[in-house]
Structure 1
Amino acid sequence: MELLDMESHLTDWPGKSARETYPEHPAVYHMLDVASVAERFLISSPFTEEIKAAFVLLIALHDLGKIGDGFRNMIRVGSAQTLRHWELTNAWLLPNDPLRARLRANGAAWTDLVAAIAGHHGRPPKPSGKPVKREMEYFQRFCRAEGPQAARDVPAIIDALFSLWPHALLAGVTEQEAKRLSWWLSGLTVAADWVGSNPVWFPARKPDLGLPEYLAEARARAIVAVQEAGLQAARLGEEPLFDFPLRPMQIAARDIDLPAGPMLAFVEDETGAGKTEAALILAQRMLIAGKGKGLYFALPTMATADAMFMRAAKVIGRLFEAPSLTLAHGRATLSQPFRDLVGRSAISDDVICAPWLADSRRRALLADVGVGTIDQALLSVMPTRFSTLRMWGLASKILIVDEAHEISGDHYMAELLAALLRVHAALGGSAILLTATLPLQDRAMLTHAFAQGAGRDWPVDADQSYPALSIPGGEARRDFDQKPGLKGPVRVVRLQAMEAALDLLTTQAARGAACVWVRNAVDEAIAAVEALRARGVPASLLHARFALCDRKRIEQAEIDRFGRMGEGRAGRVLVATQVVESSLDLDFDVMISDLAPIAALIQRAGRLWRHMAERPRALRAVPEPVLHVLSPDPAVVVDERWLVDVLGQSAWVYPVAEQWRTADVLFCTGMITSPAGLRDLIEAVRSEAKPVPAPLEAAEMERIGQGYAEANRATHNLIDFAAGYRRGGAGADDTTFPTRLGRPTRTLVLARRRAGMLVPWAEGHGADAVEGWMLSEVQADARRLERLELPDQRTPEIAAVTKDWPEWRRNGMTVCPVADDGSITEGLHYQAATGLLL
């Protein structure tokens, strides 16, 4: 259509409010901006050219709802809309039988695909609930309310856009296929709209070009925009990733046969065996085989994600040419390595992270390689706003889930992970799961979920070999050397009381041993370090109830002391909570641990005699590695308080029946032999073949009931993928649907008084005041805090600090001024050396 014919369609319908030189950016121009970005994203997709064109055309029509009096009056005079523009897009398109016929679209499929592109603001347009005929009349009534000019112009604009992609066809897309694709198409539309709405890349301009001419200009801009956004798919590198001699699991990853189509792999090996490197070797082969275009590393915690980010940054430059790399979790901006990466030139030959990608946790999953918490991936299968953007970003990735046992061991998160694998497989994705202690039952459950999504029927793999690299429905490698490593088996010794633990640490520290005591609860850790210091033992403390600035400082100090190349460890004791299980690479001569589930104890024991190459047996202060476990006798259970007298509050951190089974199996075995004996230990505890003592039966029944309740809650917190985006999606806030359960916490923001005003506790840390306040955060049990009278947030000094904070931050954080003596309020204190004391 010539410019003369389109002039009113361009000038009368604004797409964006006033920006830059021109008063408005025409809606039709904006629609072409977004379509041109979508074209870039679809270049390497597996669809036919006709279906690609149809998707681009639909995405171009995503803002058709801006053609109407409602949106125009909102832009020009500030009046309210009756129907939001994206809902009006659905109303214009859904009953449009001529357009559907031209595209040769199945009627039911049309409904789902239209909802996918219309719902580009994070939630789907919901069905009216009326019969189909009445629903069409319902939508048409809203369209008529948009005025006669819109009624004339909408068909003309559709015709004009169709002429740009005349070969667009949806023939052959079934209703079932459309429901599956609707999630993917929604995410694609959101990503294209976010890039196409950026005024730096697509500035407002006067309506002086016809649509073919403007589309040519938009396509040229889209090439630059996609590249500068960090979304230009990086080219694969094919050189070997590592220069060192490969370990057995890594050799297996290099040589194992890859099946056709989406695949799932389990890498099961002991801590420190090189599973991450094996996964990267396998992932490189999968990428070359076309099973993905990028990677997402999903870790259990922010600390493990930070550590993985630094490892990934060193190797992915060999995996890709100039790839984009992001860190995805709530405190990513506090990572100095990540900040150093952001802003590197997008045309550099090195690893980069474009500022646009770094600006949002949701966008982070669009990078060539993302590293983050499992939570960011789980949100893609929960009915949250923009979940489809995450889903679309992950669909092209090989999903690598590290420490999978930590997730599957939680009933709630296990259901979410199973749903994630099911959806990921349904969209053509592949996954690798890394674990040291995954029970066979959990492996079977996760395999079944992935197989469902991939439309496969794989037999249950009950083989108990360990270590193992297995691909369900494909090959497995299990012929690994079962000999223990250089440190040999770890002997297990039970300690009956806290005094015995203190005596042992006092003696061994005096002999120059590097010691650690892993406690299950913060209060018990604080009590232990105070008791050691009272004996004159040099002891430090690490737990999760420190302000972020203090925790980072302490973690680095302990790495410098007890890390691979640490100095000054002799005669020192670290008292820590679970934070040392997996996130910190530390090495100790002597270890005491509170009784915990078998998987946790195996992880903890992995920090005992860890770096044998740097500190061989002859340099150790003790003759053999021994895991001392503070625990009552499992053969003597008088009442339900079996654990309390020995562990205090630590007794309630884990289910008591699970801890009893661990104690019963572990003390009878008397040894942790890696790798050969790990599977037997895990399965003996998890099998629940032996009944618990009678005094613990009630606790056991409560544990089982709670597990069912958590799994049931998870199923209610998931999208209905089979129903399609229109009926199965939603637009809730991310915080509405938790990715993990547990006792509720409350975030305190610590402050100091300086010259009559409040400053962050982390004064002098961070790049600016915003970061300083983030580094001053500390979390604590919300129920315990409820008993205290916390500072009134309406006081002038606190209000002055929070006045410019976003509402979610003001509502979710409690600013707590700390006096010089550490007091905050009665019953609540903070010290940099001990953390938050309740």
Structure 2
Amino acid sequence: MPPLFRKSKNQKHLPAIPFDKCAAKTTADGKPGTCVVDHCINVGRVAEALIALQPERVKRLFPPKPGLSVSVHDVGKVSPGYENKYFRDTVVREYAPELCSQMSFSTHHAAISAAAIDRLLGSSVSHSPVALAAAAHHGKKDKSYPPDTAETLGGPAWSEERQKLIERLSTVFGGTLQDAAHADPWLLAGLTCVSDWIGSDEMFFPADRPPVEQDDAMLTARRAVAECGFVPAMTKKGLSFEDVFGFAAHPPQRQFIDRVTQPGLYVLEAPMGIGKTEAALYAAYKLMEAGCHQGLYFALPTRLTSDRIHARVSRFLARISEAQLAPKLAHGMAWLYECRWR
């Protein structure tokens, strides 16, 4: 049996630090900063702000209380392994000095979060979507993890503190984790990752003081999401193909555009020069105008072709949008391209 699951007959009762005393972030000088409770709330509020911007058909893909489902991602930081690793000489020494010399605890806080969620939901065989999302929120999921009451996670006392934290978050955000029983775990994991990145940005959520917007997590989350480029699409209505591109659609383009009436997978095969790019962009515009989605992602095989299409997409967005938009170029040398145009 792996050490992670091994039990010791001589293990003494482990003291647990109260969940609301556990730290999640360090300050610039290495001191305990944002506590676990506040960090979980910050990230949950960011998730709410992100989902609020989505069309209804996208919102329906997520749990009814996305803030709660995302907020529990770092419940596992309420654990002796995590607190000992980062706050041994501060938080641990103050609240549970007996733990300072112990080094056998798991430090995989994402997996510990998943274990705590599964305990709450009674998911002993197949892991719940929220647990899977929490386990994967740093990019990859641990294939297995021990039960929440395992000694390597702190035993029953620490497990109870994690359960108390989940209860607190349920009170803050409303709803229950059972509401996410049928959520897509990878979609939820993606929301959790992005929310955690933004909710950990110290421009908005500094470790040594409250959130910057009136000390309020919700107001700060909305500002942070907007400043990170997540803004409502302000699309001009009723533009014709000729309004957007300056020439009338060719028959193949018109046939394709007429078929794109709802989100789906569409394939247009035609000779080079027939205007496939314009047809695809205008079809995307029609779906954006109808409120089906808020943007587009244009994928090309090389950096050179990506650079060239980026310029065309920029001109397209300038014509269809009420606001000035700056589409992001997403490849390894994109920063050079952006510097060139500053």
- TM band (smaller chain): 0.7 to 0.9
CA contact (8 A) 1:33 1:215 kept: no
- Aligned ranges for residues 791-806 of structure 1 at < 5 Å? none
Runs of 5+ unmatched residues, structure 2: 1-16, 90-99
Please name the residue that 1:140 is paired with. 149
**Which amino acid in 1 is paired with 2:137?**
H
State the identity as a percent.
27
Q: Structure 1 pair 216/74, CA: closer, same or farther in 2 (3 Å)?
A: same
TM superposition shift of 1:205: 3.8
Partner amino acid, structure 2, of 1:26: C
Residues of 1 paired with 2:291 and 2:38: CA distance? 35
Which residue in the other structure is 2:227 paired with?
Answer: 228
Q: Does 1:56 align with 2:67?
A: yes
1:65 aligns with 2:76: yes
Q: For residues 577-617 of structure 1, give each alpha carbon's deviation from its aligned partner in whole angstroms, at most 9, with x where no partner exists.
A: xxxxxxxxxxxxxxxxxxxxxxxxxxxxxxxxxxxxxxxxx
User: What's the CA shift string for 1:434-457, capped at 9, x where partnerless?
Assistant: xxxxxxxxxxxxxxxxxxxxxxxx
Q: Which residues of 2 match residues 70-89 of structure 1 at below 5 A?
A: 70-77=81-88, 82-89=106-113
> Could you tell me which amino acid in structure 1 is paired with residue 295 of structure 2?
G
The amino acid that maps onto 1:241 is: V
Could you tell me the TM-score, scaled by structure 1's length? 0.33
Q: Which residue of 2 aligns with 1:167?
A: 175
1:333 aligned partner: 335
- Residue aligning to 1:268: 269
5+ residue gaps, structure 1, are 1-6, 101-105, 129-134, 343-838
Higher helix proportion: 2
The aligned residue for residue 204 of structure 1 is 207
Residues 50 and 167, structure 1, Cα contact 8 Å, conserved in 2: no
Shift in Å at residue 197 of structure 1? 0.5
Corresponding residue number in structure 2 for 1:518: none
**Residue-by-residue CA offset, 1:762-789 (whole Å, 9 max, x unaligned):** xxxxxxxxxxxxxxxxxxxxxxxxxxxx
**Whole-angstrom distance in 2 between the partners of 1:14 and 1:225:** 22
Matches within 5 A, 1:392-411: none
Structure 2 CA distance, aligned partners of 1:144 and 1:275? Answer: 56
Deviations 1:266-285 (A, max 9, x none): 22222222221121111111
Aligned residue identity for 2:109: H
Alignment correspondent of 1:31: 40
| 1:120–1:50 distance in 2 versus 1, CA, 3 Å | closer
Q: Deviation string for 1:405-461 (max 9, x for gaps)?
A: xxxxxxxxxxxxxxxxxxxxxxxxxxxxxxxxxxxxxxxxxxxxxxxxxxxxxxxxx
* C-alpha contact 2:106 2:152 (8 A) present in aligned 1: no
TM-score (norm 2): 0.77
Q: Aligned in 2, Cα 1:50/1:200: closer, same or farther, shift over 3 Å?
A: closer
Contact 1:63 1:118 in 2 (8 A): no
Shift, 1:147, TM fit: 7.8
Q: Compute the RMSD of aligned alpha carbons.
A: 3.3
Which residue identity does 1:314 align to in structure 2? R
Total equivalences in the alignment: 304
For 1:40, what is the secondary structure of its paired residue? helix
- Structure 1 residues 33, 124: closer, same or farther in 2, change over 3 A? same
SS of the equivalent of 1:202 reads coil
C-alpha deviations, 1:34-75, integer Å up to 9, x for none? Answer: 10110011123544699321x321211110111122111111
The verdict on how the C-alpha distance between 1:215 and 1:91 changes in structure 2, with shifts beyond 3 A counting, is farther
Q: Hey, what does 1:111 align to over in structure 2?
A: 128
Q: Whole-Å Cα distance in 1 between the matches of residues 268 and 180 of structure 2?
A: 39
Q: Write the distance in 2 (CA, Å) between the matches of 1:173 and 1:151.
A: 22
Q: Report what 1:741 is aligned to.
A: none
Partner-residue secondary structure (3-state), 1:16? coil
Q: Which residue of 1 aligns with 2:117?
A: 93
Letter in 1 for 2:136: G
Q: Structure 1 215/29 Cα, relative in aligned 2: closer, same or farther at 3 Å? A: farther
* Matches for 1:6-17 after TM superposition, within 5 Å: 9-10=19-20, 12-17=21-26
Structure with larger RCO (C-alpha < 8 A, sep 6+): 2
AA of the residue aligned to 1:62: H
State the SS of the aligned residue for 2:328: strand
Q: State the partner residue of 1:183.
A: 186
SS across alignment from 1:299 = coil
**Residue 145 (structure 1) shift:** 2.3
Deviation at 1:215, TM superposition (A): 11
Residue from 247, 252, 268 that aligns with 1:249: 252
The equivalent of 2:93 in structure 1 is none
Structure 1 CA distance, aligned partners of 2:233 and 2:261? 24
User: Quick check: 1:258 aligned with 2:260?
Assistant: yes
TM-fit CA distance, 1:8: 5.6
1:279–1:108 distance in 2 versus 1, CA, 3 Å: farther
* Larger radius of gyration between Structure 1 and Structure 2: 1
1:490-569 correspondence to structure 2 within 5 Å: none
